[in-house]
């Protein structure tokens, strides 16, 4: 069993040749395996799932940063997903009996080296956060790439590592350690963005909805449909099927329905135990983490 999983999110989901170079870089280091790659043109984002030992992942991620800085220019990037960096967020997740402290140590080591080698401002989040106001990714990312220079005018937002200025094309990067996150999107049978946003407000925890659920309503221009994009940050508090049922209820109240869903990246078997792909309206099968680790 590898000791850590890492799920870097990069701000490129439309250019196959660039995505291929990013994946090749991430898979280049001994001691790290690329288990999954998911790209979306509307979000303009790719999510890679890696697993390995801390040293192998460290080398793999440095190669990924190098490829991303060479191939991604955020001044020319647009997508429906919030982002502050070319390599937007890099969470480490402990596997098996690995303690969370090892994931935190990996995040801190990577952050220091990314700042030194690439001149990127680095923010630590979730369990690696050094300040409580940086624990939530949404708080760090508020304002986006375009608004981050103004954010840095406040001394409270000085980075944990690196220069106190936004990299002109690569922005900043957010690195951390956390529990498993289930990225789960529900595609609606409507192009009405207002409906998707209303459903997201009612479903997410911050709006009085489901515990440990974060949600956004976005429009998928390539499909002419709207989507409720969710992060289930603790599937033990809100199981995935419960999240879907709540979205379906809210959609029905607005006279629409969930056509299909998608899981971005891999999910631990425990998160979908007793649930079928058909029940979840998934396109394709269940992408189980443990099956890819065999």
Going by their DSSP bridges, the two strands 87-94 and 173-177 should be labelled as parallel
Task: Tell me which residue of 217, 220, 269 sits closest to 240, measured CA to CA.
Answer: 269
Q: Which of 43, 77, 81, 167 is catalytic?
A: 81
77: annotated active-site residue: no
Residues 137 and 238: their CA atoms lie apart, in Å, by 19
Distances (CA, A) of 36 to 5, 125, 131, 266, 291: 11, 23, 32, 7, 11
**DSSP letter (8 states) at residue 229:** E
- Per the structure block, which two tokens stand in for 259? 């056509």
Residues 156 and 130: their CA atoms lie apart, in Å, by 12
Residues 63 and 227: their CA atoms lie apart, in Å, by 33
Residues 9 and 35: their CA atoms lie apart, in Å, by 14
Catalytic residues: 81
């Amino acid at each position: 069993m590898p000791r850590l999983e890492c799920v870097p999110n990069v701000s490129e989901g439309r250019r196959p040749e660039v995505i291929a170079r990013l994946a090749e870089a991430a898979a280049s280091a001994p001691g790290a395996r690329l288990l999954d790659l998911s790209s979306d043109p509307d979000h303009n984002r790719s999510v890679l799932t890696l697993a390995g030992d801390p040293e192998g992942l460290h080398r793999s991620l440095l190669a990924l940063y190098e490829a991303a800085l060479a191939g991604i220019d955020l001044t020319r990037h647009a997508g429906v997903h919030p982002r502050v960096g070319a390599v937007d967020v890099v969470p480490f997740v402990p596997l098996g009996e690995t303690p969370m402290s090892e994931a935190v140590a990996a995040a801190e080591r990577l952050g220091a080296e990314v700042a030194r080698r690439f001149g990127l401002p680095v923010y630590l989040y979730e369990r690696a956060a050094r300040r409580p106001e940086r624990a939530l990714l949404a708080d760090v990312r508020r304002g986006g790439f375009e608004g981050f220079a103004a954010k840095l005018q406040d001394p409270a937002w000085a980075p944990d590592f690196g220069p106190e200025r936004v990299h002109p094309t690569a922005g900043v990067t957010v690195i951390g350690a956390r529990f498993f996150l289930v990225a789960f999107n529900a595609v609606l049978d409507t192009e009405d963005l207002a409906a998707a946003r209303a459903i997201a407000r009612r479903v997410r925890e911050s709006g009085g909805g489901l515990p440990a659920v974060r949600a956004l309503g976005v429009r998928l221009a390539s499909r002419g449909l709207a989507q409720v994009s969710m992060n289930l940050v603790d599937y033990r508090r809100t199981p995935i099927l419960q999240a879907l049922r709540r979205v379906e209820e809210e959609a029905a109240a607005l006279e629409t329905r969930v056509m299909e869903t998608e899981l971005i990246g891999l999910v631990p078997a425990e998160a979908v135990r007793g649930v079928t792909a058909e029940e979840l309206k998934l396109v394709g099968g269940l992408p189980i983490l443990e099956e890819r680790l065999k």
